[in-house]
């Protein structure tokens, strides 16, 4: 079974600075998908960025980018020019590429609570 | 325009009661999911339906029963509620199963069992 580990329960960053949230995962599969979701105090789960494992290029979405290291099974999220609205719980998630039953689910890490200081 | 909606947003009830949470998506998606987020914020899949067919059924007590009357709706019925059922329940949907299909989440239903 796949597992996702987020080793930083909490992180803080100054407004306008850069922060990196770490995520590692364990899998025996070679193809899969990885996601970062954001959960602000409103509780809404919002997709931040996603990465297909077969793509070597790191995904970017505006101020958000990932450092995907397939061999190390690492998928960190970098937030540049941090804004107060970035304050939230961030979840890393894994999804198998293989079809069938439970493979379609997202497996989440335990989350990292990001605080942005003005 | 709410993509994935859940009702109610908050639910406070007594142990032993039966309750339902409703979920609707207007995205035209084929696949819907129920996740549970416990007090430590850990999110775990419970069920998933694709075209009204159950495809994921994780280790969940029989007291939980999902029902999908059509592709746009996936309701969660819980019998004989227990204290440990207190959590936030999220509904989600995706266009399909194959590929890197993004799951879109509803706002969550906070259930408190007293």
* B104 contacts A39 by C-beta, under 8 angstroms: no
Nearest CB to B102 within list A44, A50, A104: A50
Mean pLDDT for the stretch of residues A72-98? 94
Q: Which long-range contacts (CB under 8 A, 24 or more apart) does B57-66 make?
A: B58/A102, B58/A105, B66/B34
Q: So what's the pLDDT on residue A22?
A: 98
- Whether A73 shows a pLDDT value over 90: the answer reads yes
A33 in contact with B at a CB cutoff of 8 Å? yes
Residue found under tokens 């509904």: B91
A16 to chain B, minimum CA–CA distance in Å? 27
Q: Do B105 and A45 touch (CB under 8 A)?
A: yes
Q: Between A11 and B55, where is the model more confident?
A: A11
Average the pLDDT over A57-80 and give the result: 96
Summarize the confidence of residues A86-101 as an average pLDDT. 87
Average pLDDT (A20-40) is 93
B interface with A, Cβ–Cβ below 8 Å: 31, 33, 35, 40-45, 48, 50, 55-56, 58, 88, 90, 92, 97-98, 100, 102-105, 107-108, 110
How high is the mean pLDDT of chain A?
92
Question: Is there a contact between A44 and B100 if contact means CB atoms under 8 Å apart?
Answer: no
Interacting residues of B53 by C-beta distance below 8 A, sequence separation 6+: none
Q: Measured between CA atoms, how close is B11 to chain A, in angstroms? A: 15
Confidence check: pLDDT of A114 > 90: yes
Q: Locate A98 and state its tokens.
A: 């293989």
> Is pLDDT at A26 greater than 70 in this prediction?
yes
Reference A108, options A2, A12, A14; nearest CA is A2
Does residue A86 have a pLDDT over 90? yes
Of A55 and A20, the structure prediction assigns the larger pLDDT to: A20
User: Residue A28 contacts by C-beta under 8 Å, 6 or more apart in sequence?
Assistant: none
pLDDT tens for chain B, 114 residues long, are 668 999 999 999 999 999 999 999 999 999 999 999 998 888 999 998 888 888 888 878 899 999 999 999 999 999 999 999 999 999 999 987 766 678 899 999 999 999
Residue A101 has pLDDT above 80, yes or no: no
Task: Find the closest chain B residue to A53 by CA distance.
Answer: B100
Residue A47: its chain B contacts at CB < 8 A?
102-104
- Whether A99 sits inside 8 A of B98 (CB atoms) is yes
Query: Are A104 and B100 an interchain contact pair (Cβ–Cβ within 8 Å)?
Result: no
Q: Chain A: residue nearest B54 by CA?
A: A101
Does A111 contact chain B (CB < 8 Å)? yes
What's the whole-number mean pLDDT along residues A11-37? 95
């Amino acid at each position: 079974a796949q597992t996702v580990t987020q080793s930083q329960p909490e992180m803080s960053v100054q407004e306008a600075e850069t922060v990196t949230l770490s995520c590692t995962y364990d899998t025996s599969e070679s193809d899969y998908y990885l996601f970062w979701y954001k959960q602000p105090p409103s509780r809404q789960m919002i997709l931040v960025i996603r990465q297909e494992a077969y793509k070597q290029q790191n995904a970017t979405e505006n101020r958000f980018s990932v450092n995907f290291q397939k061999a190390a099974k690492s998928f960190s999220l970098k937030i540049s020019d941090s804004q107060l609205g970035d304050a939230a719980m961030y979840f890393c998630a894994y999804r198998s590429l293989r079809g069938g039953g439970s493979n379609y689910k997202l497996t989440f890490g335990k989350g990292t609570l990001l605080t942005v200081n003005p | 325009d709410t993509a994935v909606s859940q009702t109610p947003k908050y639910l406070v009830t007594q142990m032993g009661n039966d309750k339902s949470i409703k979920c609707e998506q207007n995205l035209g998606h084929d696949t819907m999911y129920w996740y549970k987020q416990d007090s430590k914020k850990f999110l775990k899949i419970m069920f998933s339906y694709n075209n009204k067919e159950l495809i994921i059924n994780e280790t969940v007590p029989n007291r939980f029963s999902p029902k999908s009357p059509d592709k746009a709706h996936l309701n969660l019925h819980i019998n004989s509620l227990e204290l440990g059922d207190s959590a936030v329940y999220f509904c989600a949907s995706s266009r399909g199963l194959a590929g890197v299909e993004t799951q879109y989440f509803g706002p969550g239903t906070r259930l408190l069992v007293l």
